[in-house]
Each structure stands twice: as structure tokens, then as C-alpha cells.
Amino acid sequence: MEISVLRVLETPLEKQLTPEIKKKIIHKALFSRCLEERLLELYSQGKLFGTVHTCIGQEFSGAVITEFLQPGDSIFSNHRCHGHFLCWTENLTGLIAEIMGKQAGVCSGRGGSQHLCQDGFYSNGIQGGIVPVATGLAFARKLNSEGKIAIVFIGDGTLGEGVIYEAFNLAAKWELPLLVVLENNGYAQSTCQTETLAGDICSRAAAFGIRTAKGDTWNWEQLYAIANNVVNYVRNESKPAFLQIDTFRLKAHSKGDDNRPRSVVEPYEQKDSLNLLLAESQPELIALQQEIEHLIDKAVAEAEASPYPEVKLPTTREQKIEWQETTVTKQRLVKALNQTFKDLMREHPKMLFIGEDVKSPYGGAFKVAQELSDLFAERVFNTPISEAAIVGLATGLAMEGYFPFVEIMFGDFTTLILDQILNHASKFRYMYDEQVTANAVIRTPMGGGRGYGPTHSQTLDRHFLGIPGLRVIALNNLLEPKPLYQTILETSLDPTLVIENKLLYSQYLREQLPEGFKRLVSNEPLPTVWIKPETVAVDVTLIGYGGMSETLVKVGDRLFEEHDLIAQIICPTQIYPFSIKPFLEIIAQSKILAIVEEGQGFAGFGTEIVTQIAEADPSLLPKVTRIVPPAISIPASGPVETAILPNVDKIITAIVEKK
Amino acid sequence: MKQEILVPRVNTNDDEVELVHWYVEDKQFVEVGQEIADVESSKAVMSIESEAAGYILTSARVGDSIGVGAPLATIYNELAELEADLNGGAAAPAKRDRSTPVRESTVPLVVTNGAVQTKLDSEQELIDEKIEKSQQDLVTVAAKPSFGFTRFSPSAKEYLKQHNLDASQFEGMGLVSVEAIEQILGKKSQPITPGNGGHSATVVTPSLSNSNLRSEKVSKAKQIEISLLTAGQAGGINSSLTLQFNSAGIRQTLAETGSLNGQILPLVLFEFSRLLEEYPVFNAYYEAGRIYYYDRIDIGLAMDLGKGLKVPIIRNANFLSPVEILETVTDYATEYLDNRLDPADLIGGTVTVTDLSNEGILHFQPLLNQNQSIILGIGGDSSIDGYPLTLTVVFDHRISAGREVASFLNELKKRLLSYALSNLPQTQQLAKTKNVQCSKCSIDLHSLYQKFGSEALMQVHINEQGETDYICHVCLEGF
Ligand SMILES: Cc1ncc(C[n+]2csc(CCOP(=O)(O)OP(=O)(O)O)c2C)c(N)n1
Ligand SMILES: [Mg+2]
């Protein structure tokens, strides 16, 4: 029965295109055209910030596609997004003001031309990166099973971005209601497609088993029917589709950077649908155009009247740290983590567990996910080896209210997710002016000591420190993981990267501390641990996190026994954002400050600590030492690896040298 | 032109220091590098030197707590400018009112060395308040450490052995390193053995440590007297007695026998410590209606060889020979000059001696140290015939009375004078060169020197029969 309906839909249904709808589509296209021409004017008047990528010549793409969208659907777009946005939201003032950088902008001027957001519309200026996010949102829509879909516009030049194929694969394999609209204008910035594109466009999507269709903006009435067909397919079948829309950009890529010869552009000017319509000089259209111009005048005036937004800085909570003694139950960390996720998934029906090889019986490379898929079969997902796409996927899911936990098998592979984190997930809440949250949790094991060699042993957290909007957490064996993950899950508005140390997995949570040392935890949401020696004379402050926790406890004991030095340990759990200020009083008690890092020291956490201390109270810095590995890759050979990574002996030696 | 002198950071722990002494007065001219004030942090007393030459205007009073980086004084090029400021110029450094704390301590008293200083006077309340506040701020930090366990580092154990320290002093001090020992002693020394010449405002929480000392209650009548005296003298109820005699004879003996490098001080310390055994009340202290008797005689010897007053402790002085005392004193002097004095050696005196006889000061009145009942001041003047020597005992009237002190002094004088050859009958004086031999073990002078080298000492005394006699340092147990 469904199939027969589809058969009908497959044939062009021009007859459905009523005069009213036609008028509406033309209206939208003309609206886009007039607006962007005005934007170019405003641009040359110096009234806009940044640049404008106009879709002049391509307007019917957005005008037609948006006809088939429903409230609750989502549209993702790229740098050339004004037309799409306007056709979907009709928010003229919000758009103009945004590009003018005004308070009345849809993102209060935070996003600007390429980063718009309203009512399920999201655009981003990174080519292709948004496709996995759209896929994740489509996934959420599928899980919600309310018949809502996601659409993503990309350009033909973006076919060069690998991540889109990761997303295509996922969308096809998992049958996600995602429509990819490829606006094929033959150029990427200055580069003609013939220089860079191999093979056939639609075949690329088709290779994943994605239904494909083709249309163009010159025959927009036919495009209407094709789009109608494709969108219905995506919506009704909950499967992805790929729609290639051939079109042509009549103006420059952005601003005035057009190097295409007139001979190439001119024919398209002549066949441009809107140009042809306007050339007819129909009174109705002229009136419409005048009306639009009038609306634009008004919107520009409103936008100009709007003030520039105030600089809003994050409120740093310089609350007073309080300390409390605590204990942990002796248990291997991997077991404690496994139990944590079992508990959390039971408590939170919207929590999802996503990763490579995480399902039973394998349970993840480090067995953290053991048995999860037995218990929660419909919420644990084995993924293709597509780190970027699954992080984007998680971002999209999180935007829709899910609690996705992504496992990246080895921390070394986080290089592949950097763009998804840095240019997407961590940006969204701010640049979309608090209209969305993206609290995806990305967990990954890091660290050496297992002989896995240069690309499977690294501690790369340093590369993720200092990304506004991204919280970086390092688990240690001094705190129970459950409350930490609970907090991460329940309190976050932004993505979180959690580093779990490989060696710690098999070690026990430190129940027993050496005699004379107390475990105090701060009242921060993600507490810092202070291993406090009970003494009247502290000599050394050790700062280290993650896998260093166990090492530092041993260092503390041996410094006392062998070198008559009393050490305290500060072991932060949240390593970004991080301020050392609340701990200065504690540090001030000691004479030597030793910062221990398993990752490279250059421009790392320790560097930041030292700088912050220097800014706050340089008198605390006379004796600082950083114990970090040398600037070489981590060798596989066990003894050589041991020789370069910080260990108890090396830390002690460095401290004794400082004494 | 004027320049402010700011409170420097004395150590990393303290964000404020207490002004304990001004060496200068307002409008006085000071030189660059001249000491102008002493400030006290939780760890040390430190002198502040002027960074400029000029007329000084102080901005704080003794007893004020001043934040690090806050102005301590202003140095003016011109006196006129100073006076202009002083007479209500806008820039006049505000004299701080003692009653209002200079600055709310933003850093809670993070008690690094555990012991929060306790103060005797009215500031106690203020401090209690501060401690309370810090406890609120930093819930887990206790004002007084009692960790309920003690774990010594191996080095700390070694240190205790070397310095003959009683490990039980560190009961409950948690992790104890050498540093911790020094901190505990430096900080908490007063409770155990006060009177190391520390600043007078800094004292004492004796309750814990004196519990093992023998004590006896002061009589009711005496208590009434004490309370009257206390009211009159605000706590320090001290008197002094001085006794003067010529020391030339004693010195001559020392010179002729080549003993003690000719120094009289070791001899005084020797006799003083032995005599103290007979006067336990002078090796004791008064507190809250009780007299606490020390179970050892540790003499603090006040030294000032140009690097500030230090009071190293001659431990168990009553068991040392004059030569051993001389050696201890010499060692301390060397360490003092090399800035090597071990902090552990500066604490725990039970009584104090201060000697200005080499300074040509014939008479002075030393200040009694906390938790001690007497201090002995030795004065002298070589320019006067007979090289007069004075012995002044300042004593705590709550414990002892003048008569006792007088008899103590007279006995001490008698014992010292017994060394003087001039006091011996002529024949006996000559005898010393003939047959000097220990009256107990019969060792002769020559053999004694052979055997003990510079440690050797043959002492002349008058025996019970009133005759001159000799006794070697081995047999010598004091009188
Ligand atoms: C990842 C990334 N690489 C490069 C760019 C710079 N850039 C912006 S638009 C563009 C051309 C995109 O071409 P296409 O996808 O065909 O879209 P069109 O501009 O033709 O609409 C380029 C290279 C970018 N924004 N993001
Ligand atoms: Mg293109």
C-alpha cells in the first residue's frame, strides 16, 4: 500500500503546484534576491561585518525546498545560507540585524552571516562539518518517531570533504530521515568543478544506497515536484535521500572576488528564472517587488536602530572552595566505570552509548561498555570507524535532548574529532545565542605505558584545552566515577571531553592512602582532590591529573620516606576551564611546586598553571618544576617508553633536584 | 619628593605582618639601609630597612597588622614636606587606629605550621575571631594541629636522635619531617621551654607540654599578693638584685693556669648551673596560680655579636664541665657568626644568662623571659681597678622573694671567688706550681694535660679544712 503511494509520488506532480503555491515560491525567491542585493549595497556602505555570500541566481533552491518542510523539521545550511534562512523563517529584520552585528540579530550578532539560527535552522561556515550534526539530528528524529526530518544544504565544492561520506554511510546504514540537498553551481569559490571533481555526483550518494534525485533552479516548477517526492520519501520511509540541484551563482563567491569571465556568467543571467520573470514587467510582480523593497527598507531601519550587543563574558564562579574528606570503594576503575554506565543508562532513558566495538560481547576496546548492549539493546550503538561523524552525530542528538555518550576507542583518534568539537559542538550554544545546547559527552582513553606505540599511547588533552564551550575532564583513581559522570550528564549545556587513563582502567580506585595523607575533595561540581598531608610543614605541592593520580600518591609516600619531604597533591578533575586561583593558598604552604603531565609540556596545562600563578602571585613561583616527557613520539618498546614517560622515580628526582 | 616604604613579603604564607618595633621616630632622619622597624610574620621577625634617606613619617603603630604591600612609612626629602603632610595634607599617611584591623585578612589563616600563635594581651580575642573565621572559610583546617597520629620520616628520626630531642613532643603532629620538627619547635617552643629571647608578645600555650612537670600550688596569701602586683605591673612582677665584687683575682687564676682561654663566663655558667640545682624555684615559672618546675637545667645564653640577639641553649648545663661549657659557647658563637645556628638549639631554655661584662657595662637590668623565673645578668668593667664584676638577678616576684635571691647571689659570688688565687694564702699560692695534684684521684697536672689535652682542667679550691686543694675535671662534680 505504501509502495503504491510512492510509485505515484515518483512521477512529477506538476499539477500539485497551485497558482497560490507558485506565487508563494516566487515571492520567497524574489524576497531572497532583493534582500541580498540590498545586503551587497549595505556591504559596500560598510554597514556589515565580515562578508556576505549571496545566493543570487540560486534562490529557487531554498524557495522550493522549504515548501515541503514542517514545523519541527530542521534545516542545516552553509555559508550561502541567507536565502534558505529567509525562506524558512521570513525573519527579515533578524537576518539583516545579525549581519549588521546588532542586538536584534537572530543570534544577537554573535553568529553573523554564516552562523544563523532560528526555529530549527542552523548554518555553519565550515564546509561539510555540519552534515554529521544534521545526521545526528535526523537520528534523534528517528528515535522520536514523530515523522520529522532534517535537511542539509551543501555545495558541490563540499563534495571534497571526507566527513560527509562518513555521515552518508551512517545515515544510509541506520536509515535516518536526512535529506542532503546539493546545490551544484559548478564552482567552489574560484575553482571550477571540472578541476576538482572526479566521477559523478549522485553516484557518490548512491554508492551508499542513498536514493538520489536531480533537479535545477531554472525548471523550478519541476524541481518542486521532485523535491515533493524526495521529501515525502525521507519523511515517510525514514530514509536518507540526496537531491542534486543544478544552479548558478550570478554574483561573486563573496564580496567582489569573482574571477569567472563574463562569457560564462552572462548566459546564466539571461536564463535566470527571476530575471526572466522580472523582465516580463508584470504589474503584479512589480507591485510585489515594491512591497518587498518597502519591507526591506523597514527591516534595515529597524536593524540600524538596534544597538550593538553588550559584551557578555562568562560568569566565572570564583566561589570559595570548601573541602571535605571523602573515601572511595576499592574497585578496579574499569569495573566502576562499567557499573556507572549501567546505572546511568537505567536512570536516564535518553542516554545513548555510541562507539566503535562497544556492543556485546566485545564491550569496547577497554571493556568499559561490557554488557551494556545486553541490558539496553536499543540504546547502544556500534558505529563504523568514523570518529568525526559519530561526534557530529552525538552533537545532533544532544541538540534534540538526548544524552549521547561517545566512546573514542583511543585518545589518539581525537585528532579526527577536533573539527566537530572545536567548530561545531563547542561553538553552538554561544554562536547560536543560547538557542541550543549540545551536551554530548565524548569519552576516550589516553596515555601510554602499554607499549602501544606512537599513535596509540598519547596524552593529547592539551590540544583540547582552551576551547571555549568545551569542558575537559580527566578521571583519576581518587574519586568514584559515578558522581562525576552523573554531574557531567545532568549539568552540562556544552560538550564534555572526558579523558580516562588507560593504565588506570586496570588499577584500583585508591581506597587506602599512605599513612598521614587525607583525601579532601572540593565543593566544585567536578571536584578537585587535595591529598593533604597531615603535618605542620608542607614542602612540595604536586599538581597532576588523570593517570598521574596514582603515581603522585606514590611519589608523596616515597618523598617522605626517602627524602624527608612532605608533599601535598592537587589533582583537578576538570582541567578546562580551570583556574588555579582558588588553590593558591594551598600552594603557598609549600616551597616547591611540581607539575606533572603525561602529555607534552610545551604550551600545556602546566604552562597555563604557571602563568596563572605568575599573574596572581609570582612570589609563589620561586621553585617550579614541570615533569613532562621529552619532545619525542612515544616509542613502543617497553623499556624505552618507560624511560620517557613521567614515573615515580623521575618525579622524585626532579623534585629533589629542586630542593 | 617622598617615597613610600612598603611591607615586603616576608614569606609566602603571610599576607600580613605585625609591626613589633619601631627603631625610629617620626621626623627622624634615616639613612639608606638603616633599620627602621621589626615586623613579625608567622615564621620570623624581620627587620625592615629604609630604602631611601630622608625624614621618616611612620604609617603604622606597634601592634598593627599590616598587609604585604601596604605602606609602612614614608621617607621625605624635605622635612617641610613631611610636616605639610602631617598637618592634614591630603597625602598624609593615615595613622591606623590600633583598634581597627588594618585589613580584613582575605587569605584565611591557613595554618601551615599548625600552631597558630596565641597572644597574651587583649589581642587574643581578635585572633580568636580570626581563627574562627578561617575555620569557616576552610572547614578542614584546624587551628591547632592534633592529627591523632605521628609518622616520622627516617630523616626526622635521625634528627631527633642527633639533637637529643624527645619524640613525645611531636605526639599527634602527623607527618613529621625535619622541617616540621623545626617549625614545631620554632613555633611551639615557648610552651615547652619558653624564654628564648623571642618577641615578648609571642607566647605560649603551655597547657599541653608542662603537664609532665612537677608543680605546686601557690599559696592563697601569695596569690592575693600576686593579683595586686599583677594589677600594678600588668603581668610582669619582676624585681632585681645586684651584687658586685672584683674579678681580677679569678681572671688571674684563669690566665696563669691557662684554663678556659682565660674566660670567666664558662666558670660563671658552670657554678650558676650547679647552684641552680639547689634553688629549683629559679629554674621554674609561674602560670595561672601554679609554679612549674623544670626537670632540667637548660641555660639560654643571650648573644649579640652584631647580628641580632640570639639565645642558644646550653642543654643540661649542670652536667657539663667548665671546658665543655666553653666549647659549647664557642661553637654557638661560631655558628652565630656563620648564620648556622640550628633553630632547634634556640629553643627550650629554662633560665637565661646574659653577659655584657666584655662590653664594659658594669651594671644593667636584663629582662626576664617568659616562662622563666630568673635571668642572670653579668656586668663588668675592666677599666676599673680590680675589674669589678656584677651579678644581677632579675626575678619573678610571684615565685621568689628577694631574700632567696640574695642568698643565691652571695653563694654564687663565694664560689666564684674561690677560684681567685689572691684569696689563697701566700704559701698555697706558690704550691700550685709545685705539686698540683687532684685531691681525689691524685692525677697530677702534667698527666691530666697529657690525657685530656685542652679539655683538661685542674681546679683550685679550698677544702673543708680551709686548705687549698685541687680537683681534676674528671672528679669534679661541682661543689
Ligand atoms: C572546511 C572549509 N574549507 C574551506 C572553506 C573556505 N570556503 C568557503 S566557501 C568555499 C567554497 C565552497 O564551495 P561549494 O561547496 O561549492 O559552495 P558554494 O560556495 O559554491 O555555494 C570555500 C572553499 C570553508 N569555509 N570551510
Ligand atoms: Mg559550488
Lowest mean pLDDT among B30-39, B122-131, B265-274: B122-131
Q: Which residue of A has its CA nearest to B175?
A: A535
pLDDT at B260 over 70: yes
CATH topology for the A517-658 domain: Rossmann fold (3.40.50)
A461 close to B (CB below 8 A): no
Residues of A in contact with B183 (CB under 8 A): 536-537
Report which secondary-structure segment, H or E, holds B469.
Answer: strand B468-472
> Nearest residue CA, atom 22 of ligand 1?
A189
A566 in reach of chain B (CB within 8 A) = yes
In this structure, the answer to whether residues B64 and B54 fall within a common structural domain is yes
Decide which of B370 and A362 is more confident.
Answer: A362
Asked if A122 and A74 count as a contact pair (C-beta separation under 8 A), the reply is yes
- Ligand 1 atom closest to the Cα of residue A114 is 25
Which three-class secondary structure state does DSSP give residue A534?
coil
Distance between CA A202 and CA A241 in Å, rounded? 10
Average pLDDT on B354-375 reads 86
Query: What value does the mean pLDDT take over residues A644-652?
Result: 96
Q: Where are the alpha helices (DSSP H) in A280-424?
A: 283-305, 333-347, 372-375, 387-399, 418-419
Please give the number of the atom of ligand 1 that sits closest to the Cα of A155: 15
Residue-level pLDDT at B263: 87
Helices vs. strands in chain B: H and E counts, helices first: 11, 23
CATH topology (fold) of A323-506: Rossmann fold (3.40.50)
- Give pLDDT, residue B44: 64
**pLDDT exceeds 70 at position B195:** no
Phi, psi dihedrals of residue A111, rounded to the nearest 5°: -90, -50
Residue B287 pairs in a beta bridge with B290
Query: Which segment of A291-305, A511-525, B128-142, B440-454 scores lowest on mean pLDDT?
Result: B128-142
* pLDDT at residue B319 in the model: 92
Does B116 contact chain A (CB < 8 Å)?
A: no
Yes or no: say if A501 and A547 are a contact pair by the CB < 8 Å rule: yes
What CATH number has the domain bearing residue B370?
3.30.559.10
Q: Are A488 and A498 in contact (CB under 8 A)?
A: yes
Q: What local confidence, expressed as pLDDT, does residue B102 receive?
A: 36
CB A568 within 8 A of CB A535: no
pLDDT over 60 (residue A4): no
Taking a 5 Å cut-off on Cβ, the residues next to ion ligand 2 are: A 155-157, 185, 187-188
Min mean pLDDT across A300-314, A522-536, B251-265 is at: B251-265
Q: Percent of chain A beyond pLDDT 70?
A: 97
- Confidence class of residue B441 from pLDDT cuts 50, 70 and 90? confident
CB-facing half-sphere around the CA of A127: CA atoms within 13 A: 12
Q: Which amino acid is at A611?
A: T
What is residue A7's predicted lDDT score, i.e. its pLDDT?
Answer: 42
pLDDT at A188 over 80: yes
What is the pLDDT at residue A15?
43
Q: Do B47 and B30 belong together in one domain?
A: yes
Name which of A84, A516, A381 is nearest B180 in CA terms: A516
Shared-domain flag, residues B223 and B276: no
From the candidates B14, B106, B112, which should be mutated to test the interface with A, based on the most A CB atoms within 10 A? Answer: B112
Cβ A131 vs Cβ A152: under 8 Å: yes
> In this structure, what C-alpha cell is assigned to residue A335?
569495573
Selecting from A323, A565, A619 the residue whose C-beta is nearest the C-beta of B139 gives A323
Residue A315, pLDDT score: 73
Considering only CB atoms, A564 lies closest to which of B114, B138, B153, namely B153
B281 lies in the same domain as B418: yes
The C-alpha atoms of residue A352 and residue A369 are separated, in whole angstroms, by 12
pLDDT at B257 over 90: no
Measured between CA atoms, how close is B177 to chain A, in angstroms?
5
pLDDT of residue B59: 86
- In this prediction, residues B356-361 reach a mean pLDDT of 87
pLDDT band at B202 (very low <50, low <70, confident <90, very high): very low
Q: Is the pLDDT of residue A6 over 70?
A: no
* B71 found inside a domain: yes
Question: Mean pLDDT throughout A409-436?
Answer: 97
Could you tell me the distance, in angstroms and rounded to a whole number, from the CA of residue B219 to the centre of ligand 1? 99
Confidence of residue A572 (pLDDT cuts 50, 70, 90): very high
Q: What are the residue ranges of helices labelled H in B301-398? A: 322-337
Interface confidence, given as ipTM, is: 0.79
Residues B385 and B463 in one domain: no
pLDDT of residue B439 exceeding 60, the answer is yes
Cell representation of residue A38: 540590498
Last residue of a domain, one of B86, B102, B126: B86
State the DSSP H helix or E strand holding residue B216, giving kind and residue range, or none if neither: strand B214-217
Q: What is the pLDDT of residue A485?
A: 97
A233-268 per-position pLDDT tens digit? 999 999 999 999 999 999 999 877 788 999 999 999
* Chosen domain end from B423, B446, B462: B423
Give the pLDDT confidence score for residue B477 in this predicted structure.
58
Nearest CA to A493 out of A573, A424, A399 is that of: A399
Percentage of chain B beyond pLDDT 90 is: 17
Domain ranges in chain A are: 5-305, 323-506, 517-658
> Cell 554597514 identifies what position?
A47
Is pLDDT of B445 > 80?
Answer: no
Q: Which CATH class is domain A5-305?
A: alpha beta
Residues of chain A contacting B12 with CB distance shorter than 8 Å:
588-589, 591, 619-620
Which residue has the least CA distance to atom 1 on ligand 1? A127
Is B249 found in the same domain as B227? Answer: no
Say if the Cβ atoms of A537 and B177 lie within 8 Å: yes
Mutating to test ligand 1, I would choose from A133, A180, A189, A192 the residue with most ligand atoms within 8 A of its C-beta, which is A189
Q: What is the mean pLDDT of residues A314-335?
A: 87
β-strands A241-246, A178-184: how paired?
A: parallel
pLDDT exceeds cutoff 70 at A131: yes
What is the reported pLDDT for B111? Answer: 32
Winning range, highest mean pLDDT, from A523-537, B115-129, B139-153, B252-266: A523-537
| pLDDT tens digits along A13-49 | 444 799 999 999 999 999 999 999 999 999 999 999 8
Pocket test of ligand 1: the residue of A127, A130, A161 to mutate, having most ligand atoms within 8 Å of its CB, is A127
pLDDT band at B192 (very low <50, low <70, confident <90, very high): very low
Percent pLDDT > 90 in chain A is: 93
- Give the pLDDT mean for A475-488: 97
Interface contact flag, B139 A324, Cβ < 8 Å? yes
**What is the residue-averaged pLDDT of chain A?**
95
Q: Let me know whether B43 and B11 are in one domain.
A: yes
- Tell me, yes or no, whether B196 and B248 share the same domain: no
Looking at residue B214, its pLDDT comes to 66
Per-residue pLDDT band for A100 (boundaries 50, 70, 90) equals very high
A453 φ/ψ angles, rounded to the nearest 5 degrees: 85, 180
Pick the residue from chain A with its C-alpha nearest to B10.
A619
B117, part of any domain: no
Lowest-confidence pick of A530-534, A547-551, B32-36:
B32-36
For chain A, say whether B85 makes contact (Cβ under 8 Å): no
CB B273 within 8 A of CB B267: no
Residues of A within 8 A of B112 (CB-CB) are 536-538, 588-589
Residue B415 DSSP class: H
User: What's residue B145's pLDDT?
Assistant: 59
Judgement on whether residues B330 and B415 belong to the same structural domain of the protein: yes
- Is residue B208 predicted with pLDDT exceeding 90? no
Ligand 1 near A184 CB (within 6 A): no
Shortest CA gap A592–chain B (Å): 11
Closest alpha carbon to A615 in A573, A591, A579, A575: A579
Confidence of residue B226 (pLDDT cuts 50, 70, 90): low
Q: Do B453 and B395 share a structural domain?
A: no
What range defines the domain where residue B72 resides? 2-86
Is residue B265 a part of any domain in this protein? yes
Contact present, A84 and A95 (Cβ < 8 Å): no
Q: Are residues B20 and B43 in the same domain?
A: yes
Q: Ligand 1, closest atom to CA A156? A: 16
Is the pLDDT higher at A428 or at B289?
A428
Nearest CA in chain B to A517: B175
Check for a shared fold between A5-305 and A517-658.
yes
* Residue predicted with more confidence, B70 or B210: B70
Interval B91-113 mean pLDDT: 37
Between A41-45, B126-130, B390-394, the lowest mean confidence (pLDDT) is in: B126-130
- Asked if residue B96 belongs to a domain, the reply is no
pLDDT > 90? residue B357: no
- Of the listed ranges A143-147, A633-637, B308-312, B468-472, the least confidently predicted one is B468-472
| Confidence tier at B478 by pLDDT (50, 70, 90) | very low
Out of A324, A566, A619, the one facing B180 most closely (by C-beta) is A566
pLDDT of amino acid B188: 35
> Is the domain of B162 the same as that of B257?
no
Domain count, chain B: 4
